[in-house]
């Protein structure tokens, strides 16, 4: 009797052990999958924030015709007088070869007399060939009515800050609207505060209204407010302090860039100083590689130069040094 009870007890313990083992395996498998999915989502979200970073900065730069490019491709329409000059030179060239053409025509007449039986089909082929040649000539003339060349971008010291390409900026805003729903869902999945997510949507509407009205100052302010949300989003799922410092540094510089529109030099000086102090935190790290350290040091020097430009109270020089500093920070 005792043996039978011991047997049942052993079986029961084995069943309990098997259930516990299966449960632990399932939990571990589920946890690993969940951790892997979270890592993928986190990496995707970081890429989305990088996209928003470059898009917002580009829109803000476009409001003052600032670009990191040194050259641009321009397309020029060839006017009628240029085409007539080309035609004249072509006709002179044709005149020089007229005697050769007459000899060739005479030879063709002699050859045509010996082709009586094939005359009909030959005429048809020549007509088809002539039509194809005309079509090709028309197509060539159309393609030659335009020419493209690589032109140097105007210097910011002599740039026109009042002529704004609103159509180009409008397209950029539309692109943000297209990308935002997917980014919205990812930020929500990463437990970003719903009010912060909603704030992006309402501020983006403010950007669109300002662009529609052609209000440069309002567009700059709303775009800057959009940018300040990026380091806030990143802080919910990233513990990379150096990356957060770079975003916050950019935010301070963009704030001074907005203030430049109204030439509020005191506020600009405060923001650039805050940018320098924020970036200097990254320079104190002992884990920096040589290349990263060199990039940080160059960025730090450019921010110092930007502060010097604020002291000059010269907006054109400020824009020039702003461009150099932001272009360098894009590498970090």
* CA 67/CA 65 separation, integer angstroms: 7
Listed ranges 108-112, 123-127, 163-167; the one with the highest mean pLDDT: 163-167
Residue 48 is encoded by which pair of tokens? 């989305």
pTM exceeds cut of 0.85: no
Maximum Cα interatomic distance, the chain, rounded to a whole number of Å: 129
Which 3 state secondary structure label does DSSP give 90? helix
Q: What is the pLDDT of residue 156?
A: 74
Backbone angles phi, psi at 307, to 5 degrees: -65, -35
- Percent of the chain having pLDDT more than 70? 70
**Pairing assessment for the beta strands 146-152 and 71-77 based on DSSP bridges:** antiparallel
pLDDT in tens, 55-101: 999 999 999 999 987 655 556 565 555 555 555 555 554 455 544 44
Q: Give residue 46's pLDDT band: very low, low, confident or very high (50, 70, 90).
A: very high
């Amino acid at each position: 009797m005792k043996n039978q009870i011991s047997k049942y007890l052993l079986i029961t313990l084995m069943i309990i052990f098997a259930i516990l083992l299966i449960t632990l395996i399932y939990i571990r498998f589920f946890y690993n999958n969940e951790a892997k999915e979270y890592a993928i989502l986190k990496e995707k979200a970081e890429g989305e924030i990088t996209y928003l970073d470059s898009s917002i900065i580009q829109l803000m730069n476009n409001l003052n015709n600032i670009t990191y490019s040194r050259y641009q491709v321009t397309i020029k329409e060839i006017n009628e007088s240029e085409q007539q000059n080309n035609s004249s030179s072509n006709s002179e060239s044709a005149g020089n070869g007229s005697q050769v053409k007459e000899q060739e025509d005479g030879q063709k007449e002699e050859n045509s007399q010996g082709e009586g039986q094939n005359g009909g089909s030959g005429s048809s082929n020549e007509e088809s060939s002539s039509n194809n040649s005309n079509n090709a000539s028309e197509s060539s003339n159309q393609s030659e009515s335009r020419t493209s060349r690589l032109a140097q971008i105007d210097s910011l010291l002599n740039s026109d800050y009042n002529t704004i390409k609103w159509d180009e900026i409008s397209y950029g805003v539309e692109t943000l609207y297209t990308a935002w729903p997917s980014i919205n869902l990812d930020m929500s999945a990463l437990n970003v505060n719903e009010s912060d997510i909603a704030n992006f949507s309402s501020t983006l509407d403010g950007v669109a209204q300002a662009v529609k009205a052609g209000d440069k100052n309002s567009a700059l302010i709303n775009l800057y407010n959009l940018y300040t949300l990026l380091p806030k989003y990143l802080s919910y799922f990233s513990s990379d302090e150096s990356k957060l410092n770079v975003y916050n540094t950019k935010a301070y510089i963009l704030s001074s860039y907005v203030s430049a529109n109204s030439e509020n030099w005191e506020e600009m000086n405060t923001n650039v100083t805050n940018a320098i102090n924020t970036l200097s935190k990254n320079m104190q790290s002992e884990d920096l590689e040589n290349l990263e350290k060199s990039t940080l040091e160059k960025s730090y020097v450019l921010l110092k130069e930007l502060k010097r430009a604020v002291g000059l109270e010269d907006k054109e020089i400020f824009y020039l040094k702003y461009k150099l500093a932001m272009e360098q920070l894009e590498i970090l």
